[in-house]
Structure 1
């Protein structure tokens, strides 16, 4: 896999090639260990005294991901055998190496808190403050990773009863519609249609996410269905900075589109990103409520269109640009933000067309994007500007690949969804801390060269 490289002097890979002491200092300095320590330390002075070096334990957990140590057992073995490594993790020579049970208790405390999400937000805000995040485009996508425990057999769905032919009587139909509405209202938030998320609070959206391992399905490059058992990680990534600006952990069967609005609302309410203008996603996010949420945020949606068995539009091309009598597509010209209007000019083929010269063909078309937010975006679908913005979506795919290959996202060592979420949060947090450390080293090197 191609290593992510920014147009700078220093990359994450080069950071990881540094000497352990310098590398750990650079990465850990980007993480507020004190916040995590205060969250997991003993709250009461009663009971047996705690002799463990919790601060060093927390650092060693992050170092485990940096050094790609597969298990806690291997981490303990390394601490016992390598005194330099032990000291680099913050332990004293006199400190005893914690047991697996001690690390397990520490991770259990992390499952009972959202402290890792808070520290993640702090790193992003620090990167914004230091000028490393100035993106105008966000890329959103999901990636799956399998659970460690044995997958149960897939449940076979019962065959639905055959529908009765013919139209239902009005009273029977009204009663059926009422029952369907009551059934929909009683469902959990993430089992309802995506439109229900528009008016839900961010707190409800974050708390209601299903997190236990489930069977998921995805089409591979050959177009065949691939089944897997586990989880999904949903990311919103800055297209140029490649920082993870928002993340969401879910069960493997959650539809990708149902994670978009929580990510979008999270960026709107928790991040200070005034430069963002575009949200780009693949066809799996082509749902009307997602366009509405982006529109409410004052931004534009760059989402691949999924026709969903819709008929070809009459009088418009496949990008919904108007066509002339000879079915030549009008050319996208500009966007008027004040009136939210797309401007199309007559096709090149119409320059010598007699219909145009006689005034039969219209010279200019204007289309308000609010007529249909799915079809009309700014810049217009099919235009070179739209294609250029859509290509930025690949940044989130590169970050997903990087998390799996270099930060052990695939290496889930836990059975429960809560423990797996801690693993996911630690992976994304370590990645962002490494990004911030690399960017800071870039600035130092540039200052030294200019001095």
Structure 2
């Protein structure tokens, strides 16, 4: 049966201007509440009977994010004071309003399962099936949010003995290299180099993500370091639909680049979208990330981060070849069969006296596999590359939506596992609202 995509009857702003009953139904109908209820409800008829309306509790937890109710205590107070709100959340008039402890036990049951991640994937797959996600470009970025508690004071480490000065002998160096390799192999997955993630299964990558609140640092627009104690949310967003295709929750200290490969593998293994480009900022400029995108049969549009690299003779700042008089060759096209970039003679060569001397080539061809980091399709510096890179702002807009309208920066839990429930709820409600 052919699926015909219907035009949207209202935008997200009109959705939030609806009456509460219609609004809650429109958003929560996208989520499979039956599977969530089955996950948290009692599995056996034996034991004490449960008097709680778990289905209504789940709905009211979602509504807390929709209505921007800051705390669970405020939610319970409104359920006590507003009968219409209580009915809109699915409670009966005769139902007792659950206590904070009851809601806490509900969060514990959600924490012990991965039901929210599964529901997030279901919503995205449904949007793909119905034709709402037709993106060919994905933007990846991270956003930070603070933890509920302050950081614990640092423990003073004992001073290490000063190292022996001078060059090591060959035997000492070989022993030191062997010791370093053993130390690297015994480190946790996310403490190793990014290249170690390439051949690790997706399930293990997601299971090993550190989630405890830690100190994080990033540079602001003025180039100054900004510190915070808390977490990071890593998002892979469709640039035209602005759906969150994949999300990852981590400690604030995790390097942004170390979350890219789990997001990319999640898109490849779980969604099977016909994507062409993956765009990211300079914080993701690592060779293993380019390698992962290439394995997926897609192209990387990632800002270049120059790291103590000298000037390359015969090439410009975008790695395009230059002529004898240092004019840059123009990017012409990309041959996907041979993975080759084609550059043609610069305009300045039309009236150059050296043009007919056999010194300058008319055409240059470069295989992108010779250096995936420097050569991308379309080529760096071209107008096509710049136009695709501009789409990356979609993920920044989504980050702003989550913080301003869905309470991402209002974490009310103390541990990383519970803060992850908050993050999963926020991303799920955002996609359901879409």
SS in 2 for 1:356: coil
Q: Per-residue deviation at 1:163?
A: 4.9
Distance 1:316 1:157 in 2: 48
Per the alignment, residue 3 of structure 2 pairs with none
Per the alignment, residue 4 of structure 2 pairs with none
Q: Per-residue deviation at 1:44?
A: 2.3
Per the alignment, residue 55 of structure 1 pairs with 55
Per the alignment, residue 214 of structure 2 pairs with 214
Q: 1:161 to 1:141 in 2, by over 3 A?
A: farther
SS in 1 for 2:249: strand
Distance 2:203 2:276 in 1: 25
Q: Per-residue deviation at 1:157?
A: 7.0
Q: Per-residue deviation at 1:357?
A: 2.1
SS in 2 for 1:27: helix
Q: Please give the TM-score of this superposition, normalised by the length of structure 1.
A: 0.93
Distance 2:239 2:308 in 1: 31
Q: Per-residue deviation at 1:153?
A: 3.3
Distance 2:160 2:291 in 1: 34
Deviations 1:6-46 (A, max 9, x none): x9663212210111111011001001011111111112222
Per the alignment, residue 108 of structure 1 pairs with 108
SS in 2 for 1:332: strand
Q: Does 1:179 align with 2:179?
A: yes
Q: Please give the TM-score of this superposition, normalised by the length of structure 2.
A: 0.96
Deviations 1:171-217 (A, max 9, x none): 11111110000000000100000000000000110000000000000
Distance 2:163 2:385 in 1: 44
Per the alignment, residue 149 of structure 1 pairs with 149
Per the alignment, residue 191 of structure 2 pairs with 191
Q: Per-residue deviation at 1:325?
A: 1.0
Q: 1:232 to 1:45 in 2, by over 3 A?
A: same
Distance 1:433 1:211 in 2: 25
**Equivalences for residues 244-283 of structure 1 within 5 A:** 244-274=244-274, 276-283=275-282
Q: Per-residue deviation at 1:342?
A: 0.1
Q: Does 1:202 align with 2:202?
A: yes
Per the alignment, residue 289 of structure 2 pairs with 290
SS in 1 for 2:354: helix
Q: Per-residue deviation at 1:151?
A: 2.0
Q: Per-residue deviation at 1:167?
A: 2.5
Per the alignment, residue 3 of structure 1 pairs with none
Q: Per-residue deviation at 1:152?
A: 2.2
**Equivalences for residues 3-402 of structure 1 within 5 A:** 10-154=10-154, 163-274=163-274, 276-402=275-401
Is contact 1:345–1:365 with CA below 8 Å preserved after alignment?
Answer: yes
Distance 1:414 1:285 in 2: 30
Distance 1:217 1:426 in 2: 25
Distance 1:265 1:158 in 2: 41
Q: 1:163 to 1:375 in 2, by over 3 A?
A: farther
Is contact 1:125–1:272 with CA below 8 Å preserved after alignment?
Answer: no
Q: 1:367 to 1:158 in 2, by over 3 A?
A: farther
Q: Per-residue deviation at 1:418?
A: 0.6
Stretches of structure 2 that go unaligned for 5 or more consecutive residues are: 1-6
Deviations 1:231-284 (A, max 9, x none): 00000000000000000000000000000000000011111312x000000000
Distance 2:425 2:237 in 1: 17
Q: Per-residue deviation at 1:296?
A: 0.2
Alignment length (residue pairs): 428
